[in-house]
Amino acid sequence: MKSRPPPPGKLQLERALSRLGAATRSQARRLIGEGRVRVNGVTETCPEAAINPRMDRLELDGRLLRAPEFALIACNKPRGVLTTRSDPRGRATIFDVLENLPGGVQAVGRLDQASTGLLLLTTHTRLAAWLTDPVHAIPREYIVTCRGELNEEGAAAMMAGVEEGGEWLSAVHVERLKTSRRESHARVVLNEGKNREIRRIFLALGHEVTRLKRIRFGGVTLGDLEPGRWRVIPREDIPALFPGAETVLEGE
């Protein structure tokens, strides 16, 4: 039986611990079950208890956990690292690679392990959800290298759309940058982030992607940010970078 979702403005306790960067969801369930978590001075053993991390006093092993200050960060994800908080197989994650990150940040969407480039991180759960909601159609721009010659017909087919794995996949824009029989380079724009969408579109048309680098998300560009480095995006810049996103920040 599925648990009821928490009321507006609240999170399940296990999720709150994860959002605060104190533990993964599975670790949080264990910590709560062991009686190591207190909410407003009372030990809470139910992982699904609804709390407000900004209003309720949350303690782990007697240590006060504070809701993080607002942060929106742009980083350059290196190849070979994951965007998850932790990996059971011990593989490196973006949180292992980036140094001195603010507490409580989470990835806004994902880049797969082999992909590189611009990844956003934020402490604001609702902003992350807004940025990744397909209804807002926020453009993501990529530089793609693939095997074989990508001709005009292939680029047009990608924009027209292909069916793959029971899903309809399409690019908003495909610009061929350099082509040869051996290899092609293209600039591709999507307006949503389905799982491995670009790789699947190219492969459906006979082109294996060998390199994939995101260079823009909405109004934020990668610029000259080096792999493994990050920069802060000022809160006051958000309305210009993501028109409409300021609505989720109002009153906070």
Which residues are annotated as catalytic?
112
Any alpha helices (H) in the chain, and if so which ranges? 13-19, 25-33, 94-97, 125-132, 152-160, 197-204, 238-241
**Angle made by CA atoms 167, 153, 204, in degrees to the nearest 5:** 30
Strands 209-217 and 220-221 turn out to be antiparallel
Query: Distance of alpha carbon 130 from its chain centroid, rounded?
Result: 11
The secondary structure of residue 194, as a DSSP letter, is -
Give the amino acid at 109: G
Handedness of CA 231, 236, 239, 240 (dihedral sign): negative
Contact 202, 146 (CB under 8 A): yes
What are the residues whose beta carbons fall under 8 Å from the beta carbon of 195, sequence distance 6 or more?
none
Q: How far is CA 222 from CA 124, 199, 201, in A?
A: 21, 21, 23
Tokens of 113: 């392990």
What are the residues whose beta carbons fall under 8 Å from the beta carbon of 34, sequence distance 6 or more?
none
